[in-house]
Each structure stands twice: as C-alpha cells, then as structure tokens.
C-alpha cells in the first residue's frame, strides 16, 4: 500500500503540490500520484519479483507533475528479470508514453478481463473456443 502521495490543490498542471504521508492528505487536496518513497519501494519490489502483473497507473500520468510514480513502476517493469504482464488501456497508454512497451513480456488491452482471468473466472471468449487436441 502507498506510504506517501503527491497531492494537489486542483486537478491542473499548475496546481500547488506537496508530498504527504498516506494518513495526512489535507482537507480539500487530492492525491494525484504515489509519492517518491512509495515509488522507490514499489520499484525495489518489482526488481526482485519473479512475476509482475500490473493493472492501472499509479497516478494521473498524462500530467507531468503526477507522472513520476507511474514512470517509476514502468521503468522497473521494463528492467525486471521476471515475467512482466501489463493489463488495461490506461496502463498500455502509460507504457507507450514512456517508450517501454517492447520491454514488457505480455500486454493486454483488457484490464478487467485480465483481472478476471487471473482470478480464475470463466471468460466468455475463452469458453466459446472449441476444445481440441494440440496439433
């Protein structure tokens, strides 16, 4: 779980920002990215993982003041020695923005379907496939 956040007083590029602990987001401010401590912690864990599944950006990566957390996770995924899987349209947009898509093992636009699949749900598109022996 995040330990710190980058918060802003408005949803805008020129908003006032500050880093706060997860427990102290000020009234009237909004968390728009994970903080630097959390980004470093997440990146460190990703760097030693055997498998990493990522679904959803860490913040409002489309706005540069709030892209650092997502960039840190994307870069850690790209450098990970483990198997890396990315799911969801926003995650795909982020990995493409940072030019790292070629370094991810598997990318799926189906974020919700990817989550259901790893939960063990029966996906209609997979269920519809006929059973057959491998060639």
Between residues 109 and 26, the one the model is more confident about:
26
Residue 90, pLDDT above cutoff 90: yes
Query: pTM here?
Result: 0.83
CA distance 79 to 35: 21
How many Cβ atoms are within 10 Å of 47's Cβ, its own excluded? 14
Highest mean pLDDT among 67-76, 103-112, 124-133: 67-76
Kind and range of the H or E run holding 52? strand 51-55
Helices (H), the chain: 36-48, 68-79, 89-97, 111-119, 124-127
Quote the pLDDT of residue 50: 95
pLDDT tens per residue, range 6-30: 999 999 999 999 999 989 999 999 9
The stretch 32-52 carries a mean pLDDT of 96
């Amino acid at each position: 779980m995040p330990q710190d956040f980058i918060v802003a007083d408005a949803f805008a590029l020129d908003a006032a920002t500050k880093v706060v602990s997860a427990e102290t987001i000020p009234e009237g401010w909004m968390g728009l990215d994970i903080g630097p401590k959390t980004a470093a912690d997440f990146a460190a864990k990703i760097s030693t993982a055997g498998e990493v599944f990522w679904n959803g950006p860490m913040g409002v990566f489309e706005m540069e003041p709030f892209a650092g957390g997502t960039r840190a996770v994307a870069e850690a995924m790209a450098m990970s020695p483990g198997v890396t899987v990315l799911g969801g349209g926003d995650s795909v947009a982020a990995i493409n923005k940072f030019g790292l898509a070629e370094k991810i093992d598997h990318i799926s636009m189906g974020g919700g379907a990817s989550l259901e699949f790893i939960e063990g749900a029966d996906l209609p598109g997979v269920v519809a496939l006929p059973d057959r022996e491998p060639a």
